[in-house]
Amino acid sequence: MASITLNNLVKKYGDGFPAVNDISIDIADGEFIILVGPSGCGKSTLLRMIVGLEDITDGDLLIDGERVNDKAPRDRNLAMVFQNYALYPHLTVYENIAFPLRLAKGKHSEDQVNKLVTEAAATLELTDHLQRKPANLSGGQRQRVAMGRAIVRQADAFLFDEPLSNLDAKLRGQMRSEISQMQRRLGVTSVYVTHDQTEAMTLGDRVAVLKKGELQQIASPRELYEQP
């Protein structure tokens, strides 16, 4: 787990209007923060800057107080949870969860892999499904496998990029509570991008509202709800 500090972050693509314009947010260790706002307001760009998939034009990004602007994604120890889960259909649940360990620098022994995957599966209540393929899982179980991949890496934070946007309303509601329960259980720092008001108002500790690349407001869901 880690704190994430955004200090006056700016992103310009070419010489156009900044996609992210002077955004500062202190994300506490274990906090669940939502980035919300209309399409094109800069949510994905900001998330990609944090994970290291987008260069930072100006400002500083700190993880646990250390400046990481120039660090490669793999050296930031953050785990991205994608829309559609990005599971491998030909691999079992076990191998899907183990996948990041098999890629990692400094190979894990087979015993270590087994230990980490078994622990993650127990936390996620997937123990009985480890030999199944993704096609034979429910949407909720798939979401948990995707989170298992993040857990197994012992990442400092989870970054969610609209993970529920392609689901129907019923499944979305179910997944919302899965993610919420899991985040509380693990207490892991999380940044969650959405344009869905319900997700914004029910999932996070705080909601950051972006508009045209700027941070318009940041408050708890309750404060946002109660204001005139």
Binding site for ligand ADP (CB under 6 A): 13, 19, 37, 39-45, 51, 53, 72-74, 78-80, 103
Q: Name the 3-class secondary structure at 117.
A: helix
143 close to 85: Cβ distance less than 8 angstroms: yes
Q: Which residues contact 223 (CB under 8 A, 6 or more apart)?
A: none
Quick one: 44 or 123, whose CB is closer to ligand ADP?
A: 44
CB 20, min distance to ligand ADP, A: 7
Q: In 82-196, which residue ranges form alpha helices assigned H by DSSP?
A: 93-103, 110-123, 139-152, 169-186
Is the Cβ of residue 61 or residue 129 nearer to ligand ADP in the bound state? Answer: 61
List strands edge to edge, sheet with 66-67.
Answer: 20-27, 4-11, 58-63, 66-67
CB of 21 to ligand ADP, least distance (A): 10
Nearest distance from C-beta of residue 51 to ligand ADP, angstroms: 5
Under a CB-based contact definition with an 8 Å cutoff, are residues 81 and 160 in contact?
yes
Nearer to ligand ADP, 37 or 134 (CB): 37
Q: Which is nearer to ligand ADP, 129 or 146 (CB)?
A: 146
Residue nearer to ligand ADP on the CB measure, 83 or 123: 83
Q: How far is the CB of 140 from ligand ADP (least distance, A)?
A: 22
Q: How far apart (Å, rounded) are the C-alpha atoms in residues 202 and 198? A: 6
Q: In the bound complex, what is the minimum distance in angstroms from residue 31's beta carbon to ligand ADP?
A: 19
Q: Which is nearer to ligand ADP, 150 or 203 (CB)?
A: 150
Q: How far apart are CA 22 and CA 162, in angstroms?
A: 23
- Closest approach of ligand ADP to the CB of residue 174, in Å: 24
Q: Tokens 């899907």 label which residue?
A: 96
C-alpha separations of 210 from 20, 171, 197 in Å: 9, 27, 13
Backbone angles phi, psi at 156, to 5 degrees: -75, -25
